[in-house]
Amino acid sequence: MPIGGADNIVSKTLYLSANNRSQSSLQREAEQDSQTKPQNIQESIKAKLIGQDSNYKPVLFNDPTSGNRISALLSKENLERLQEKFDKKDFFTREDGLIRLSGKAESYVSGWYAHITAGDVEAQKADLDRDGKFSESERELIKDGYEFGILEKGILNNGIVVHSVSTNSKADNTNVRTIEDLLNNFITQDQNLDGEISVKEHIEVTRGSLAETLKNILKSQENSLAKMVDNSNQANNEKAKTKRKNKPNISALEEAAKILAKIKQSKDLSLLSLQEQEVVRQYFAGEVEQLKQQNVDSNAINQHLSDKIQEFVEEVSSNKNLIFETKA
């Protein structure tokens, strides 16, 4: 099945210049930390929650927004991926067990950390009591999920295209308890470690099959144009029965009002955007599916759909009862 928009980017790291620290400077830093309890290291909250766990390794890096050093647990799998991707000099193992990040490896990890805490994810803002952990109510405030706008590609529904991505919703994963959980999630989803997460990477890591997930999303989406026409006709029929002078309430129909307004004004479907044209075609998806189930020839289906769309355009442009105003 052809899928368009799978390479669209849903999230990207904050790109930072690499600080290539020498081995001697990292050794001095470690020795100083062993002599005095450093005040500028933010201790790992996840380590306090789970204790010793062989599936995680502690790393140390600089937070580009606060200047503090951050101690965090990365999954063993993610750390191994980072070590394969970046120079081995970017990973300095200290005697206290911390793996001090440097160079491009630190730039990559701290970039995602800044994106999560101070960027679009707003995890730091969500931690209302500043205890480093997320309660159920605080979890609802984290914006680490995406909502996808999906359209069927082609009039015979033989493909799917992702035409829009909204990044301000909570993800389905409710196991996130700390910022470190989010950090591991983003690094895991960035399958090629290029600092960007595509639609394909996100869905395959978090939900499984790309095609099946998009088909399920498509099924769950509401046909706003069909709802608009249906509600408008019902409202006008009710108006005629009761002979009320007031206009029908169309507040629930505003989402699709722009499309009908364009059709009424131009009388030409080709002047709509490709996305708007696809919404109009979606209005006839039921008829197309019935014809396909009856094994009707594809050329006949195409002609039928073209005729129905043309009839629809003519009906909308001539129907004086369908009056919709678009907001600026």
Q: Mind listing the pLDDT tens digit for each residue in 250-259?
A: 433 454 667 7
Q: Which residues pair with 59 in a beta bridge?
A: 72, 99
DSSP-assigned beta bridge partners for residue 149:
164
Q: What is the pLDDT of residue 252?
A: 31
Q: Are residues 115 and 238 in the same domain?
A: no
Average pLDDT, the chain: 80
Alpha-carbon span 38 to 157, nearest angstrom: 61
CA 253 to mean position of chain CA atoms = 26
Question: Are 183 and 268 contained in the same domain?
Answer: no
Residues 286 and 209 grouped into a single domain: no
* Domain-ending residue, one of 167, 198, 221: 221
Last residue of one domain, picked from the residues 221, 243, 277: 221
Report how many domains make up the chain.
2
Percent of the chain with pLDDT over 90: 42
Q: How far apart are CA 256 and CA 326, in angstroms?
A: 9
157 with 217, same domain: the answer is yes
End of a domain among 202, 221, 240?
Answer: 221
Burial bucket for residue 304 (CB in 10 Å: 0-12, 13-18, 19+): middle
- Helices in the chain by DSSP H: which ranges? 23-35, 45-50, 76-85, 103-117, 123-126, 136-139, 179-189, 199-206, 210-220, 224-242, 254-266, 274-282, 285-293, 298-318
Name the residue with tokens 């009710």: 238
Q: Is residue 324 part of a domain?
A: no
Do 143 and 56 share a domain, yes or no?
yes
Q: What pLDDT sits at residue 15?
A: 83
Whole-structure pTM value:
0.69
78 and 37 belong to one structural domain: yes
pLDDT tens, residue by residue, 129-160 = 999 899 989 998 999 988 888 877 654 556 78
For residues 228 and 230, what is the distance between their CA atoms, to the nearest angstrom?
Answer: 5
* pLDDT at residue 305 is higher than 70: yes
Size (the chain), residues? 328
**Using one digit for the tens of pLDDT, what is the confidence trace for 49-62?**
988 888 999 999 99
| 16 and 130 housed in the same domain | yes
Domain that holds residue 126: 1-221
266 occurs within a structural domain: yes
